[in-house]
Structure 1
Amino acid sequence: MDDYVQLDLVTPQWRNFFENSPTLDLYQEPDRMKAEFSKLPGDAEKHWQEFQSFLDYAREQYGIINTGYFSEGLDTLWEFFWHYKAQLFAGKIDYKGSMADSIASRISDPKMRMILEYFIKYVGSSALDSPGYMNLMPIIQFDYGLWYVRGGMYNLAKGLGKLIDEMGIKVHLNSDVSAIEKSGKQVTGLRFSDGSKHECDIIVSNMEVIPCYEQLLNEPQKFIKKLEKFAPACSGIVLHIGTDKIHSKLAHHNFFYSENQHKHFETVFHKKQLPDDPTLYVVAPTRTDPSKAPEGFDNIKILPHIPPLEEGSGITHEDYVALKDRCIDKMERCGITGLRDSIITEDLLTPIDIERMYSSNKGSIYGVVTDWKKNYGFKAPKTSSQYDNLYFTGASTNPGGGMPMVVLSGQKCADRIIKQHPIG
């Protein structure tokens, strides 16, 4: 892998900001992490022991889920049930309670609860709706580390491109696909916006599943309605700012927490409204990679989770701009003083831009929402139910959003193709 992509360990993993409270850092190193608990009110040793107990529980959940869902690429509820029926009947998989409930039963400090709940941001969902076993996410970070693709995430694409070139695979860039052609239970080729066609034996789409069926395959709405359980995860406004000073209080990865995080989840995921007091994910990559901004300047990304696009929501562009201003206000209240006055350039993406640029489902950033009531936490299958030689990969398929899971989706999609279409 080092021949194609270089990874750098990020430390601290996250810096967590609260209004009127000290920041709390997350570290992979146990001694440094333990020291952070002295910042919390009450007995620091008790908080540390609770945290260790939580990690043991999360490690157990990860160990179980990894054997099938990740390693074998399980794709449906039935595949999951048959693989895990013994563990399910024995009650070893935490699926009955919500992620938030399972955290609350193990962690007493309210701020530490908020931090652990917000690991669900990796898949753009709500800790109130996601099944308890999603608490496996913190253990992946604490046990295996948090990593930065040296030079920026796009270098992962460049690394894969280098490998593709070495394998002699031809890539057609700037080829806008307007339709997937089909015949019976087979997809037969691609049609491009310039009118040209390309015949195919197998097609893998990394366009999200529902938009692909709607826009490229023109499937009837009766079929599309069957996919409603694979509802879009949240969207966001993505604000990139350049500042004429370095805001040294920021780490590489930062979170600025709502004063009432459960209200934030309810507002975004149930009421489908823009939050008055959002929780923010903020990235300052120069902490790991100084080349990402000129010397003495800062390059900062700010991302609050918001609802995906919905007809009749009444949310306007002006509402998104007002939310952008609330995000800056939030960061300044949490100690990033002078942020607004230091901004010398900015770039703002709204859900409308995200949908247009990436053909995502209603502007979703993370593919399919993780919601026990809607889909038992499952994304769309990688194998098409309509066509024998059509496959999907990306954030809307299992195992879901986030760069590591998207890459794993591609690997497991390849495994299925090889198994179902052997060569020779």
Structure 2
Amino acid sequence: MKQNNNNKRVVVIGAGLGGLSAAISLASEGFAVELVEKNDKVGGKLNIMTKDGFTFDLGPSILTMPHIFEALFTKVGKNMADYVGIEKVEPHWRNFFEDGTTIDLCEDPENQRRELDKLGPNTAAEFANFMAYSRKLGTETEAGYFAKGLDTFWELLKFYGPIRALNFDVFRSMDQGVKRFISHPKLIDILNYFIKYVGSSPYDSPALMNLMPYIQYEYGLWYVKGGMYGLAQAMEKLAIELGVSIRLNSEVEEIQYQAGKATGIKLQGGEVLAADIVVSNMEVIPAMDKLLHNSPAELKKMQRFEPTCSGLVLHLGVSRLYPQLAHHNFFYSDHPREHFDAVFHSGKLSDDPTIYLVAPCKTDPSQAPDGYEIIKILPHIPHINPDKPLTADDYWALRERVLAKLERMGLTDLRQHIVTEEYWTPLDIQAKYYSNLGSIYGVVADRWKNLGFKAPQRSKQLSNLYFVGGSVNPGGGMPMVTLSGQLVRDKILADLGQA
């Protein structure tokens, strides 16, 4: 531990994975850390609900890059396996198409080849070439952007140099990057939809996003034994062991500051918590608006950091099993370009959405009563547009389109077998998590708006205010927001001259 850090008081706003990671990482360096959360449990969007005998993971369903989480434990001489168990999911996911074709993504190379051979004799070779490209993107990104916490395009250029920086393929779209190697439309759709990890469009995001297949195949796809929320509970336990004070049901009203430095936070009810350093897990733009009370002109400077898509989230308990499902499943749109254009350009609910469906009982039957199954359904939809709001009837009509599509594609009589349901719209997501306009994944990856960069972790307004989570680099998704907490520790130590 660093000397004298126990005299420095850190307040972390929000106990999502980014906030938990920051609290753990700073406590491991000897800081006195207080973590303040408005909801009744830690985890942020990694949330849980029990209802009618079913246990629903309300947020993320896929764990990748477990080494990022393990680093929190090994840093302080602990073993993550003593806190939470994880197991690999195989196949990674199953892809369903309207013509009846199904293709699995598999970790085992021979199984993967057999699946790809369904699409023609050259498909496996094309896929191998694509994966070599994906690996190059991934390993380059890990070397600097992840390892060093590079926060801007100029920092990236300084670290990599102008020639090496071209390896990031930011001037092509993700879709164009895929099509350099892949000719079959179905495999193009499958690889394009890796963009779901960051809630963006493959037609707008930079081709750098093609690093995601490498990450999934290199580090595996995992499930947390007993339910995904167990990961948040493990991090909470570790934080408490390290001396982090956690306040639940405590909403922050403002960040107080003077002479360019944060002095603390004020809670609803008026209590003030003094701080030498403030870390916000609340997204950058909502924090600037609600906690710092920045002017519309200041907020406008951040408009390139547009929110990702939102989602219509259906958690269903059903009174039968669907054996054709894997743990993770995608039911593809017959019109992918139109689907993404609806979500990211016209702000409409897609007539034919691609649907992500999770059936966690395939791995963990204990999540539902015997003979029953959990079906989680997530089509991506536009974030909230205050100028052209969608109505409750609009969202309900999409629910019906989605369920009808799933029944048409093989989930026979799905609606007749629903025995319990939890239904969230973007308005619910915004109210629960204060995400920017109901965004699920933070800041959109768009090569024209931001080259795929998120907002910087250091505040430009206050010298001792930092941000973590999906709205800042390195971006959205469980491993990235957890990494952001570790990177913010590194930035704070560097700013204190301790790096």
TM-score range, shorter chain: over 0.9
Aligned to 2:8: none
Task: Check whether the contact 1:87–1:93 (CA below 8 A) recurs between aligned residues.
Answer: no
Aligned positions of 1:5-404 closer than 5 A: 5-40=84-119, 43-44=120-121, 46-88=122-164, 91-404=166-479
Displacement after TM superposition at 1:2 (Å): 1.1
Displacement after TM superposition at 1:184 (Å): 2.1
Task: Check whether the contact 1:14–1:252 (CA below 8 A) recurs between aligned residues.
Answer: yes
> Secondary structure at the residue paired with 1:2?
helix
- Deviation by residue 1:74-112 (Cα, 9 ceiling, x = unmatched): 1111111111224446x4331221000111121011000
- Deviation by residue 1:22-72 (Cα, 9 ceiling, x = unmatched): 2110001100000002322xx32x100000000001001111111111111
RMSD of the TM alignment (CA)? 1.3
Opposite residue 76 of structure 1, the aligned amino acid is: T
1:379 and 1:277 mapped to 2: Cα distance?
29
Opposite residue 18 of structure 1, the aligned amino acid is: F
Task: Check whether the contact 1:240–1:299 (CA below 8 A) recurs between aligned residues.
Answer: yes
Displacement after TM superposition at 1:423 (Å): 6.4
Task: Check whether the contact 2:316–2:420 (CA below 8 A) recurs between aligned residues.
Answer: yes
For structure 2, which runs of at least 5 residues remain unmatched after alignment? 1-79
Opposite residue 211 of structure 1, the aligned amino acid is: P
For structure 1, which runs of at least 5 residues remain unmatched after alignment? none
Opposite residue 112 of structure 2, the aligned amino acid is: M
- Deviation by residue 1:367-397 (Cα, 9 ceiling, x = unmatched): 0000010111000111111100001000111
Task: Check whether the contact 1:273–1:307 (CA below 8 A) recurs between aligned residues.
Answer: yes
Opposite residue 434 of structure 2, the aligned amino acid is: S
Task: Check whether the contact 2:174–2:202 (CA below 8 A) recurs between aligned residues.
Answer: yes
1:146 and 1:161 mapped to 2: Cα distance?
23
Opposite residue 26 of structure 1, the aligned amino acid is: L
Task: Check whether the contact 1:285–1:299 (CA below 8 A) recurs between aligned residues.
Answer: yes
Task: Check whether the contact 1:9–1:146 (CA below 8 A) recurs between aligned residues.
Answer: yes
Percentage of pairs with the same residue:
50
Task: Check whether the contact 2:117–2:124 (CA below 8 A) recurs between aligned residues.
Answer: no
Q: Is the counterpart of residue 419 in structure 1 residue 472 in structure 2?
A: no
2:497 and 2:365 mapped to 1: Cα distance?
47
> Secondary structure at the residue paired with 1:373?
coil
1:300 and 1:177 mapped to 2: Cα distance?
35
> Secondary structure at the residue paired with 2:371?
coil
Which protein, 1 or 2, shows the higher relative CO under an 8 Å CA cutoff with sep ≥ 6?
A: 2
Displacement after TM superposition at 1:415 (Å): 1.1
1:236 and 1:48 mapped to 2: Cα distance?
33
1:260 and 1:52 mapped to 2: Cα distance?
26
> Secondary structure at the residue paired with 1:347?
strand
Residues 422 and 153 (structure 1), Cα distance of their counterparts in 2 relative to 1, 3 Å cut? farther
> Secondary structure at the residue paired with 1:92?
helix
> Secondary structure at the residue paired with 1:171?
strand
Moved more, 363-372 or 175-184: 175-184
> Secondary structure at the residue paired with 1:107?
coil
Displacement after TM superposition at 1:312 (Å): 2.4
Moved more, 27-36 or 333-342: 333-342
Opposite residue 102 of structure 1, the aligned amino acid is: G
Moved more, 393-402 or 148-157: 148-157
